[in-house]
Structure 1
């Protein structure tokens, strides 16, 4: 798919989601979250160079993400006590199977951006920066996740250990993905769109 069309779809879907969640149809919009996640990943992957190394790396990132979330939901380790709500669709052992895809999406987007931004940096430097970007997105997501019907922590607030664990898992995912991911022009737009989507929810609550 041409880059401009992919970029347009990313912009339109995030805009529709942002506005739609402030209407009487917000409950229906929430149910489209899995579709949006699938489309976003497909678009991002479609702009990548699909090497065997990337495919294997993404598979393991998905498995790590889904696995650690299943452990987290059922034990409270390492993120703290939380439960998933209906927003991310069908679940396995209390964990949406799509949450692994969300880890893959954020890992690929941040790794692709950092590969260009820090082209001369070491593998460790790139992994640390990309993990920091993923943590930054989580900081934006956590305060509004319950309103978006994604997940809910005991007490209604994510504990400090969630952020430590998020960075650690993000770093592991970056390392598993490989030493350097090829350039992807859609990576930064997706990161910006995601950040803006959740940041707006801080100021303009969803209508649920």
Structure 2
């Protein structure tokens, strides 16, 4: 009688150093976004337009990749559909009626449109929405507070961004006054509209994440999107003050960042 010897299956585990780091791709996208944003004030004309489109592309990709990596594919897909649909709905109504932002119009520089809304606009919302949500999630545990903080950060980001985009000629306001002190090209109604849109979007996004995230998530931390958010606000304020001739929005960017930085410092101190 012969005895058959079977070779045991290998159960070797790949060395830790050879395993792919799930946080690597979001971090690379964030660093590319920052590098591209630095190039914005150093360019002009068609080159600046290309930089703007690249920033939006990298920012939206960062949001989707991080959402998928940290919470799962269902969350990433839901994020894309929710933010895209909400952006088109609010912007299309805004263009047709002037509510809730005030009367404005887009230029042809932003390319193809859907219901009058350039395709780049929903991608810009996506770039802004996910980091704003993550920051609020980091700062607040109670849902109402978390939603309010996320909506405020979402709107504050636009306070810095909108004057830059008006300067670039991407859209114009029919009645830009009254505006925030130091900003004479964007009306206060725009800020009110962003707070309303942000509240609606962040309420839906909070529910979406709770219902779709994969077990055991978040799988990676929010470092990459929050790094991008920090640079796009504080770095944007620096660019506005030093290169773009927009001291008002630069000052507002710094002023709006102070409460967030204070809250982060207080949270760290309490730990």
With structure 1 as the length reference, what TM-score do the two structures score?
A: 0.84
| 1:55-74 correspondence to structure 2 within 5 Å | 55-74=77-96
Tell me whether 1:34 sits opposite 2:34 in the alignment: no
Q: Tell me the residue number matched to 1:85.
A: 107
Give yes or no for contact 1:110–1:134 (8 Å, CA) kept in 2.
yes
Say whether residues 1:124 and 2:144 are aligned partners. Answer: yes
Q: Confirm whether residue 162 of structure 1 aligns to residue 200 of structure 2.
A: no
Q: 1:189, CA displacement in angstroms?
A: 1.3
Larger RCO of the pair (alpha carbons < 8 Å, separation 6+): 1
Highest CA radius of gyration, 1 or 2? 2
Number of aligned residues: 200
What's the counterpart of residue 107 of structure 1? Answer: 129
Partner Cα separation in structure 2 for residue 189 and residue 62 of structure 1: 23
How many Å separate the matches in 1 of 2:190 and 2:101? 4
- Structure 1 residue runs of 5 or longer lacking an equivalent are none
Distance (Å, rounded) in 1 between the aligned partners of 2:106 and 2:113: 9
Query: What is the CA distance between 1:29 and its match in structure 2?
Result: 1.7
Deviation string, structure 1 residues 174-201 (Cα, Å, up to 9, x no partner): 1111245744221211112221354222
TM-score, with length taken from structure 2: 0.66
Using the alignment, how far apart are the partners of 2:84 and 2:35 within structure 1? 26
Instruction: After TM superposition, give the deviation of residue 56 of structure 1 in Å.
Output: 1.5
CA-atom RMSD in angstroms: 2.3
Structure 2 residues not aligned, in runs of 5+ = 1-21, 177-184, 211-217, 246-271
Number of the residue aligned with 1:194:
232
Indicate how the Cα distance of structure 1 residues 57 and 30 shifts in structure 2: closer, same or farther if over 3 A, else same.
Answer: closer
User: d(CA) in 1 for partners of 2:84 and 2:74?
Assistant: 15
Task: For residue 202 of structure 1, report the CA deviation from its aligned partner.
Answer: 4.6
Contact 1:82–1:151 (CA<8 Å) still a contact in 2?
yes
